[in-house]
Chains A and B, each alone.
Chain A
Amino acid sequence: MAGSRSPFTNPLLKGFDERLPILRAVHYSMTQHAYPKNLNYWWNFGSISGIMLLVMIVTGLFLAMHYKPSVQEDTYGINQAFRSVEHIMRDVKGGMFLRYIHSVGASFFFIAVIFHMFRSLYYGSYKAPRELLWILGCIILILMMAIAFLGYSLVWGVMSFAAAEVITQVFTAIPVLGDDILMLLRGGEDVDDALLNRFFALHFLLPFILAGVVILHILTLQTVGSNNPLGVDIKSKKDTVSFHPYYTFKDIFGLSVFFTIYLAVVAWAPERLAEAINNQPTDYNLPSHIVPEWYLLPFYAILKVFTWDLNIFGLVITGKQLGALAMGGSLGVLFLLPWLDTSPVRSARFRPLYRLAFWGFVLTCVILALVGAQTSGEAFFIPTPFGRIPLGFEAENGFVWGSTQQWGVLFMLYYFGFFIVLMPVLGLFERTRTLPASISEPVLPSSQGAGAVAAAVAVAKPMAKAD
């Protein structure tokens, strides 16, 4: 809390604040905290994510008032959980909006957080002193993935069942304890009532834990301060503005744009991002092609590309275990990022090679998502609105060159290579461009080489650029 005296003059506010000084905390953080003045639109996604979390909690609460976690089937062969979701859509006043705002909201929540994370990656926001901020962000991401998976299961459609079945199975890859963990997750041997009930309980609980982590995330941010597109530290008051009114207004504008798109999708394409087959109640058969929600696809790809066993001097690690390890590793490696990156320069604007590596990483995530969505043994292709671009073919002897699985392995290697090899190595050998002296004062073109001129031009008048 920035100040010890209440800043309010209104007797009611003042009286309240002197007894419980939370108002002043908000007040000071909005008006006294110094934010870099050059934050660009990529910095909007933090507040957008926060609002999306609120939207999810509020709509989720009302959905929970009508939802029934029961797998019991009626004479139509429709289970009660599925029926209660349809009941919300058909019989509850405003229920269809409630449900679609929640289900489309999950996708948009992920869109916001994904942009937010790529922003951090591009501008080096994870480096000292923001390591903890980044780690809390990674915890947020993992919690979100867990929550989304649990929520998806609640519908108890064809794909809900498949997801619950397949993902709980992954835990049996853990040696010795695997089966017990499976029992604990499922509440029994099978995927049925006990599982659905505990998934509901967890799906209700975890968002509040997530909210707690988000508060820690924001408190950490207030302590270490925001990074900025130049990645240089704040040098003087000249470099900064207070959050309010500048960033409050900028955030409201960003939110408006985001919500326009989000609500348009709710109105006209509420199920465009979902798997159609999940609108059918499960009959407990696994569908021939299992796919998770789009935001889990890259991780699902890493889970499923291992089709062989590894034999290290007689110690056999099965493909399933390798997949589980790799998927865990693909999330775990994010936590180590602040220490894997050896470059002292934060922003990719001054790191030409890292910038290339970064876009390679973005491409990798896209390709892995496609791998996750396609069938392992078949020829890989890129879907476009004008048809498919094939990236593989079946040879005469039946061997598939460029199969989904092969592309998956290739890009999985880049995924890990990006963090484990490129991050440390680039930092040591890359020739970075000259950094500006401060946010307000760009480097002087005259005394520097050609690269510096370009950089100086790029950063001149950062405030104007941010507009």
Chain B
Amino acid sequence: MRFGTLIKTLSAAAAFMAVAAAPAQAEEAGPVDSQSWTFTGPLGHYDERQLQRGLYIYQTRCQACHSLGLVRFSSLADLGWELLEGQTGEDVAKAIASNYEIPYINDDGENDTRPGVLNDTFPWALGNPKRATATYGKAPPDLSTMARSRIGGADYIYALLTGYDDAHEQPEGAYYNKVMPVIAMPNPWPADMSDFEYPDGTVPTLEQQSRDVTAFLNWAADPYLEARHKWGIVVVLYMLALTIISFFAYRIVAAQVHSRLEAEGGPEPDH
């Protein structure tokens, strides 16, 4: 079989797997439309301003219930802050961390809290899974890997955040969402947001806020996406060059072996 056939088979196999990998689950969920994000595509990257806004939304609207137990404050240092004279990104991260109360056991052996430091991760206001479950019927999941743990990823989270409809009748303690028809999470958007403002002056529509916090959660789940994409470009170019070189090297060798076979009718042990 020729090389072309092989490539065709390989790409057919790849296409098949790409389609087959996520079949049945999508069914249970409602409609998840795909959105355009800065971080998709071969050169996809994060919009740092958007991540800053997303962090702000996370802080104001989500962290009362959710945690980011795998995201260290130190990782906020690279969020592209506008820095004052002599200030570093790390200083900004430190300042953010110190606003949080981290539970710990003090020298007298008692439960206490201390201000957060760079090495800490975003705490959970609800304290622990049991208390969280007791409060909401279902524990609000940690959001550190959320953007990677749902089919659709960022599109799914965006659809969920924009999918509330409070007019729907629901049983006690449950809410209606287009994506998850019975959900224990109340609508995170207050009915009246007219006095809410972004620090950078962006118009805070519900869609804008959803989009920003979703981008932030995607960053939280996949913080080194940009590094990986850049690595990919370099590696794939390198491998393509190697592929071309090795192809011609192979053709040259093949021609030599072929003509030697014709001349001698057998292989030569060569040293």
Cα A241 to Cα B150 in complex, Å, equals 52
Quick one: CB contact mask for A239-265 with B, threshold 8 Å, 1 for yes? 011101110011011001101110110
Cβ of A272 within 8 Å of any chain B Cβ, yes or no, is yes
CA A442 to CA B142, docked complex, whole Å: 67
Chain B hits for A271, CB < 8 A: 148
A76: chain B residues at CB < 8 Å are: 67, 69, 124, 129, 142
The answer to whether B266 touches A77, judged by C-beta atoms less than 8 angstroms apart, is: no
Does any Cβ of B come within 8 Å of A385's Cβ? yes
Q: CB of B28 within 8 A of chain A?
A: yes
Most buried by B among A157, A280, A381: A280
Asked if B267 contacts A237 (CB within 8 A), the reply is yes
Name the A residues within 8 Å of B129 (CB-CB).
73, 76-77, 283
Q: Is A230 an interface residue (CB 8 A)?
A: no
Distance (whole angstroms) from the CB of A269 to the closest CB of chain B: 8
Cα A323 to Cα B128 in complex, Å, equals 41
Known: A260-B236, A263-B239. A242 touches B269 (CB 8 A): yes
- Say whether A373 contacts B20, CB under 8 Å: yes
Cβ A249 vs Cβ B250 within 8 A: yes
By the criterion CB–CB under 8 Å, are B23 and A74 in contact?
Answer: no
CB-CB < 8 A to B33: which residues of A? none
User: What separation, in Å, do the CA atoms of A463 and B15 have in the docked complex?
Assistant: 31
Nearest chain B CB to A287's CB is how many angstroms away?
Answer: 9
* Interface residue? B206 (CB, 8 A): no
Contact B24 A289 (CB under 8 A): yes
Q: Answer whether A111 and B144 are a contact pair too, CB < 8 Å, given A252-B250, A266-B232, A373-B24.
A: no
Q: Which of A226-242 contact B (CB under 8 A)?
A: 229, 236-238, 240-242
Residue of B nearest to A280 (CB): B149
Contact A260 B239 (CB under 8 A): yes
**Nearest CB on A from B257, distance (A):** 5
The yes or no answer to A267 lying at the interface (CB within 8 A) is: yes
8 Å CB interface, A19-64 against B: 31-32, 34, 37, 40-42
Cα distance, A467 to B21, chains bound together (Å):
34
Q: A279–B149 contact, CB under 8 A?
A: yes
Query: Most chain-B Cβ atoms within 10 A of its Cβ — which of A73, A83, A279?
Result: A279
Total residues of chain A contacting the partner, CB 8 A: 79
Q: Known: A96-B228, A249-B249, A463-B261. Is A78-B6 also a contact (CB below 8 A)? A: no
Contact A272 B18, beta carbon cutoff 8 Å: yes
Docked pose: A428 CA to B233 CA in angstroms: 54
Q: CB distance A41 to B231 under 8 Å?
A: no
Interface residues of A in 72-86 (CB under 8 A from B): 73-78, 83, 86
Chain A: minimal CB distance from B217 (Å): 12
Question: Could you tell me the distance between the alpha carbons of A349 and B228 in the complex, rounded to whole angstroms?
Answer: 44
Q: Are B13 and A111 in contact (CB under 8 A)?
A: yes
Residue B246, interface by CB 8 Å: yes
Distance of A61 from chain B, by nearest CB (Å)? 21
CA distance A209 to B2 in the complex (A): 35
Contact present for B1 and A41 (CB under 8 Å): yes
Interface residue A90 (Cβ < 8 Å from any Cβ of B): yes
- Complex: A250 Cα to B253 Cα, angstroms: 9
Asked if B25 is at the interface of the complex by the 8 Å CB criterion, the answer is yes
Q: Given A250, A272, A385, which contacts B21 in the complex, CB threshold below 8 Å?
A: A272
- Shortest distance from the beta carbon of A13 to any chain B beta carbon, whole Å: 11
Chain A residues closer than 8 Å to B251, beta-carbon distance: 467
Asked if residues B228 and A465 are in contact (CB atoms below 8 Å), the reply is no
- Which residue among A260, A271, A289 has the maximum number of chain B CB atoms within 10 Å of its CB? A260
Contacts A242-B268, A253-B246: A263 and B21 contacting too (C-beta < 8 A)? no
Taking a contact as CB atoms under 8 Å apart, the answer to whether B229 and A267 are in contact is yes
Determine whether the beta carbon of B17 is less than 8 Å from that of A249.
Answer: no
Asked if A317 is at the interface (CB within 8 A of a chain B CB), the reply is no
Q: Determine which of B24, B103, B128, B271 lies in contact with A7 in the assembled complex, contact meaning CB atoms within 8 Å.
A: B271
B267:A240 contact, CB within 8 angstroms: yes
**Residue in A closest to B44 when the chains form the complex, CB atoms:** A268
Tell me the complex Cα distance, A375–B24, Å: 7
**Is A249 within 8 A of B246, CB to CB?**
yes
Given known contacts A32-B269, A273-B21, A278 and B246 CB-to-CB distance under 8 angstroms:
no
- Asked if A215 lies at the interface with its beta carbon under 8 angstroms from chain B, I say no
A266 to B246 alpha-carbon distance, docked (Å): 22
Q: Which residues from B are CB-within-8-Å of A283?
A: 129, 139
Cβ of B126 to closest chain A Cβ, rounded Å:
10
Chain B positions 114 through 150: 1 when the CB is less than 8 Å from some CB of chain A, otherwise 0: 0000000000100111001000000101101110111
Is the Cβ of A246 less than 8 Å from the Cβ of B254? yes
Q: Which of B1-41 contact A (CB under 8 A)?
A: 1-3, 6-7, 10, 13-25, 28
A366 at the interface (CB under 8 A from B): yes
B239 and A259 contacting across the interface, CB-CB below 8 Å: yes
- CB of A78 within 8 A of CB of B69, answer yes
Q: Tell whether B64 is near chain A: CB-to-CB under 8 Å.
A: no
Q: Does B258 contact A (CB under 8 A)?
A: yes
Asked if B243 lies at the interface with its beta carbon under 8 angstroms from chain A, I say yes
Contact with A along B201-242 (1 / 0, CB 8 A): 000000000000000000001011001110111011001101
> Taking the complex as formed, is A294 at the interface, i.e. its CB lies under 8 A from any CB of chain B?
yes
How far in angstroms is the closest Cβ of chain A from B27?
8
Knowing A34-B267, A246-B254, A250-B250, say if A373 contacts B23 (CB, 8 Å).
yes
Q: CB-defined interface of A355-371 with B at 8 Å, one 1/0 digit per residue?
A: 00000000000100110
- Complex contacts, B249 vs chain A, CB 8 Å: 249, 252-253
In the bound complex, what is the Cα–Cα distance between A294 and B253 (angstroms)?
A: 38
Closest to A78 in B: B69
Task: A373 to B42: give the CA distance in the assembly, Å.
Answer: 29
CB-CB nearest in chain A for B264: A237
Q: How far is the CA of A285 from the CA of B168 in the complex (A)?
A: 29
A-B contact pairs, 18 of them (CB 8 A): A31-B270, A31-B271, A40-B2, A41-B2, A83-B70, A237-B266, A238-B261, A256-B239, A266-B232, A267-B231, A270-B228, A276-B22, A279-B145, A279-B221, A289-B24, A370-B23, A378-B24, A385-B19
Give me 4 other A-B pairs in contact (C-beta within 8 A), A90-B223, A266-B228 excluded: A40-B2, A237-B265, A260-B236, A369-B20
Closest 3 CB pairs of A and B: A267-B232, A237-B266, A76-B69
Residues on A lying within 8 angstroms of B by beta carbon are 7, 31-32, 34, 37, 40-42, 73-78, 83, 86, 89-91, 96-97, 100, 111, 157-158, 229, 236-238, 240-242, 244-246, 249-250, 252-253, 256-257, 259-261, 263-264, 266-268, 270-274, 276-281, 283, 288-289, 291, 294, 366, 369-370, 373-375, 378, 381, 383-385, 463, 465, 467
Binding site for A on B (CB under 8 A): 1-3, 6-7, 10, 13-25, 28, 42, 67, 69-70, 72, 75, 103, 124, 127-129, 132, 139, 141-142, 144-146, 148-151, 153, 221, 223-224, 227-229, 231-233, 235-236, 239-240, 242-243, 246-247, 249-251, 253-254, 257-258, 261, 265-271
